[in-house]
Amino acid sequence: MEQAWSGPHAPGHFSAPQGWQGLVREPPVGAHILHIYEDPDREVEAASLFVIEGARRAERVCCVGSPRELSSIRRRVEEAGLDTDRLIRDGALALVRQLDLNGGPKEHDETSRTALDRFIHAMFQGVPERYPSVRWWGNRVARFFENGLFDRALAFEQLCHERREVLPWSLLCAYDARKLDPERHAAAFWDVLRNHSHLIPAGELGVALELFPNGVHE
C-alpha cells in the first residue's frame, strides 16, 4: 500500500521512503523527527527503540513525558537487558516528568523558555567529553498544538529545530493523530512539518520520509 500525498505543498517535499525503525535506531545527528501515531503502543515502541539504541551507543538520552509513558519506556529498556538504574544514576538516561521540567504546575501545562533553556543546558553537560551526542524524546509540545495553542507549540518546535544546527543532538517528537482535527489543525500543521527533518506517518506503512530534501519553499 502506498501513501498518497496531496495538497499544494506535497510535490517534491518528501524523499523516497525508508524504514522507520532504522531511522529511529540510528538518526543522523541533527535529525528532528516527527512521529504521528494512532496507537499508544506504537508511540512507546518508537520511543523505546530510540532510547535503547542511544543508550547502547553511549549517547545521553532524555525523555519528557507522562508518568505512564515514562514507566512504559523504562520497562522496555530493562527488557532489552540494560541497567536502567545505573544509566539514570550515571546521568546517561533522564526520565523527566513534564511538571518537573516546568518547575511545578502552571497554566495550560506551560513550559517557559527559561525552563527549557536551563534544561537543554543541563542535558549537554559532559558533551562531547563523555557523551558524543544527545537524544531527546517527548510529546508535550503536541499537547499545546492539540489544545489550539499553536503559537506556543510552533515556537518550541522552531527553537529545537534551529538549535539542531549547532548542538549535537537528535529529537523524536510524538503527535497523537487521533487528537488532530483537519478543520482545526490543518493550516498550522504545515508549520509543524516545516520545523522537522523527517516524518513517520501514522498507519501500518512502516516508513519514514525525509522532509524537504531540497529545502523548504513557501
Which range, of 94-98, 106-110, 212-216, averages the lowest pLDDT? 106-110
Write the CATH number for 111. 3.40.50.300
* Rounded distance between C-alpha atoms, residue 156 and residue 94, angstroms: 20
Cell of 157: 518546535
Domain annotation covers residue 2: no
Domain annotation covers residue 33: yes
Give per-residue pLDDT as tens, 76-104. Answer: 999 999 999 999 999 999 999 876 665 54
> pLDDT confidence of 14, banded at 50, 70, 90?
low
According to DSSP, residue 211 is labeled B
Domain annotation covers residue 5: no
Structural domain boundaries, residue 139: 18-210
Residue 217 Rama label (left phi>0; alpha psi -120 to 50; beta): beta
Domain annotation covers residue 10: no
Domain count, the chain: 1
According to DSSP, residue 36 is labeled E
Cell of 124: 549537554
What pTM was estimated for this model as a whole?
0.83
Domain annotation covers residue 187: yes
Domain annotation covers residue 66: yes
pLDDT of residue 103: 52
Domain annotation covers residue 165: yes
pLDDT of residue 8: 35
> pLDDT confidence of 188, banded at 50, 70, 90?
confident
Domain annotation covers residue 51: yes
Buried b (16+ CB within 10 A) or exposed e, 178-211: eebeeeebeeebeebbbbbbbbbbbeeeebbbbb
